[in-house]
Amino acid sequence: MSTAPAKTTTTPAAAVSAADRDARNRREIINTIKGPILDRLIELIPELRAFPNPYLAVMASPELLYACLELIRTRRDRFQDFLVDGNGVPVTVDDLPLRCERSLDQVVSMVVRSGAKAYAQHRFAPPNKAQLATPAKTEPRTLLEKIAALVLGKWNEAEVPKRQPNQADQFYEAVKDFLDYDWQVPLIPYFAELPPRLIRELGRGVTTLRTPEGISALADIGRHSLEQAKRILSNAEMREMLDTQPLATKGIAFLGQERYDFLRGAVYDKMGERFWEMCVDCDRLEAMETQNAKDLEQMAPYLHILSADSINQIVRCLQFAQIPIFLDAGNSTLGEAKFSEIFGLPGDKKLVKIFCEKITATRLDPADPEADLRRKLPDVFTAYLRAPDTFARGL
């Protein structure tokens, strides 16, 4: 990031340590953001002048901060004079070094972490008299309030985030190593409602939660389920789950040791890390535990998508060898999005039943029924795509 020329120094360049150079670059980045870049933002967003301290206002507001980061990305031409290399040549790629020896992506990571710290200091500041006088709400009205209520009810009292002097530091220390991207900025208020200990335990898995609803689902898991999952999984399995899909915690606790061992033995080798996505939905897991291991193995590439009803309907209607043929043809003909919409969560029970029953009623060549099914299935799914309403009426 381009900055004003540094003051002349008598220290030889070779004597300046890498740490000193990095610290100097960091100071220049911060000064440039607080100075000329903020001025440029104010030119583009004059409303920022209304704040006594526009820099602090932006950093403490994830909504404002995200808008400013988006503006820099989308109106790059207005900021290109800052985005140059050591020779003053414009840098147009986000992962190449600027004059400050950091890329734009790395500078954004710095800003995201600073924004998280500023928000936490605002969020967990001791309440003022007006806040103390405000009566408590009886029912949570926003998703943020819902997450706070879930944490209060399902996590240890000592873990619940509170307005106290060190709470902002606890949150920041827990989350800082996992904040790298501008898309995380709108999620900062939701992360702040989670217990810092949980964030530390999740580690990099925090970045898999890309929606407020996902963070709310995590808050709903509770300390009891997390501890139960730890007793069921090996250390390596627990780390893989938390890094891949932490919402699987509730499903693992729901299964218990014996049923978890059965399902892992049946399908993990064919699913890999998608196994943890499969474990998110407890209804799906309940449907799976009533099936035999061979049928589940046939469905393994799609178990992270299929709903409980789809699993039950497929096993009820199709023969063992027909299952993978049916699923492969459905996915390739319908496309992944439409396939998931019909056979996934929440899915379309009526359509799933119609598809399965049509296969059951299809006459197949007894000399090679599987090959005949492969030939005929695309026509069945294409018939739906051609006239969905007519197909859904069973005509």
Q: Indicate if the pLDDT at residue 134 is higher than 70.
A: no
Q: Indicate if the pLDDT at residue 104 is higher than 90.
A: yes
State mean pLDDT over 244-267.
Answer: 94
58-96 per-position pLDDT tens digit? 999 999 999 999 999 899 999 999 999 999 999 999 999
Q: Is the dihedral of CA 273, 277, 280, 283 positive or negative?
A: negative
Q: Which residue has the higher pLDDT, 147 or 288?
A: 288
Confidence at 144, pLDDT banded by 50, 70, 90: low
Q: Has residue 318 been placed in a domain?
A: yes
- Going from the C-alpha of 387 to that of each of 72, 352, 394, the distances in angstroms are 45, 16, 11
Last residue of a domain, one of 123, 144, 159: 123
Q: Has residue 284 been placed in a domain?
A: yes
Question: Are both 239 and 119 inside the same structural domain?
Answer: no
Q: Has residue 278 been placed in a domain?
A: yes
CB 182 within 8 A of CB 72: no
Question: How far is it, in rounded angstroms, from Cα 92 to Cα 76?
Answer: 9
Q: Which residues of 250-288 are buried (b: 16+ CB within 10 A; e: fewer)?
A: bbbbbbeeebbeebbebbbeebeebbbbbbbbeebbebb
pLDDT of residue 151: 60
Q: Has residue 128 been placed in a domain?
A: no
Question: How far is it, in rounded angstroms, from Cα 252 to Cα 224?
Answer: 12
Question: Are both 240 and 117 inside the same structural domain?
Answer: no
Question: How far is it, in rounded angstroms, from Cα 314 to Cα 119?
Answer: 49
Question: How far is it, in rounded angstroms, from Cα 46 to Cα 27?
Answer: 26
Q: Which residue has the higher pLDDT, 159 or 77?
A: 77
Question: Are both 102 and 241 inside the same structural domain?
Answer: no
Confidence at 139, pLDDT banded by 50, 70, 90: low
Residue 36: closest CA among 6, 61, 3, 64: 3
Question: Are both 240 and 388 inside the same structural domain?
Answer: yes
Confidence at 221, pLDDT banded by 50, 70, 90: confident
Question: Are both 240 and 381 inside the same structural domain?
Answer: yes
Question: Are both 110 and 240 inside the same structural domain?
Answer: no
* The amino acid at 384: Y
Q: What is the 3-state secondary structure (H, E, C) of 248-279?
A: HHHHHHHHHHHHHHHHHHHHHHHHCCHHHHHC
pLDDT of residue 2: 58
Last residue of a domain, one of 123, 155, 177: 123
Q: Indicate if the pLDDT at residue 3 is higher than 80.
A: no
Q: Has residue 324 been placed in a domain?
A: yes
pLDDT of residue 91: 93
Q: Which domain holds residue 364?
A: 235-245+260-392
Q: Has residue 201 been placed in a domain?
A: no
State mean pLDDT over 35-50.
Answer: 93
Of the chain, the percentage scoring pLDDT greater than 70 comes to 86
Confidence at 201, pLDDT banded by 50, 70, 90: confident
Mean pLDDT score of the chain: 87
Question: Are both 239 and 375 inside the same structural domain?
Answer: yes
- Going from the C-alpha of 263 to that of each of 290, 324, 344, 345, 347, the distances in angstroms are 11, 18, 19, 20, 23
Last residue of a domain, one of 90, 123, 156: 123
Structurally, how many domains does the chain consist of? 2
Q: Show the tokens assigned to 304.
A: 């992270």
275-284 per-position pLDDT tens digit? 999 999 999 9
Residue 115: closest CA among 34, 35, 58, 168: 58
Of the chain, the percentage scoring pLDDT greater than 90 comes to 67
Question: How far is it, in rounded angstroms, from Cα 372 to Cα 363?
Answer: 9
Least confident of 197-211, 311-325, 332-346: 197-211
Question: How far is it, in rounded angstroms, from Cα 370 to Cα 190?
Answer: 50
Confidence at 233, pLDDT banded by 50, 70, 90: very high
Q: Indicate if the pLDDT at residue 8 is higher than 60.
A: no
Question: How far is it, in rounded angstroms, from Cα 183 to Cα 315?
Answer: 41
Q: Has residue 2 been placed in a domain?
A: no
Q: Indicate if the pLDDT at residue 117 is higher than 90.
A: yes
